[in-house]
Structure 1
């Protein structure tokens, strides 16, 4: 396919993936499979490639608990989340090196990845894998003993139900 058909190829790749819905007409897609705000911007890159900018916004720990969270716990949790989420090796199908950014923005943590791919379908798969990775990393870091609110309460409930489905 020609480079002039790149937007159509990318739209088809997102539509066929089934995890994304278009957010606007500027190449931004939202993940429909995460409780968090996962967005992917796709734009043409040199040599017929596609640049995928993946942004996932997750709440800070205290924004998801009914209980008070001590500042030292919040800071430690945030630092640990950042260390885990930047260790993204092996999550994607493509051979990518990532240098993600992680920043606290009010009551949210914003995680951003960028990848460039010649194969738009593999790029969409990898973008979806990065969104899922952030969600999984977040859930792994949930601290027992707190009463959680949405969306974390729903994620924990779903994880428990899925875990019970495989029980012997």
Structure 2
């Protein structure tokens, strides 16, 4: 007998379940290859301001930092470096993403990476009751409170986006 179709159990989902943190999963179609954040907001019917992307940066070969910010905005590398307490940051090359985090582009979650990296959430999240972030696999997002995301990812809220 076939089991009912259940939501995928990614590392992020397992961790949230283990911590008894409330979240809601949302699945969306990725067959068109559109996994950028703005497309994800449209596909899930969510406000683009509430959908956050996860970006991984590096200060050196061994020193990585994770930043979550609204999908339509751009990471300010100077503000991000200041938040992280380093002189300079650059984006982690896409070819290194899976090796360093265990996640792939379009499915990178700040929760459940291979290692715990210093994590920063743009302070705009504090204005929202819930934000939507990757659940650890393309096609699956999770909605949770910014405070719960901060707690489980051991993040800090900082101003990290480029001023419009």
Structure 1 length as normaliser, TM-score? 0.24
Structure 2 length as normaliser, TM-score? 0.24
Structure number with bigger Rg: 1
Q: Tell me which protein shows more helix as a share of its residues.
A: 1
Larger RCO of the pair (alpha carbons < 8 Å, separation 6+):
2
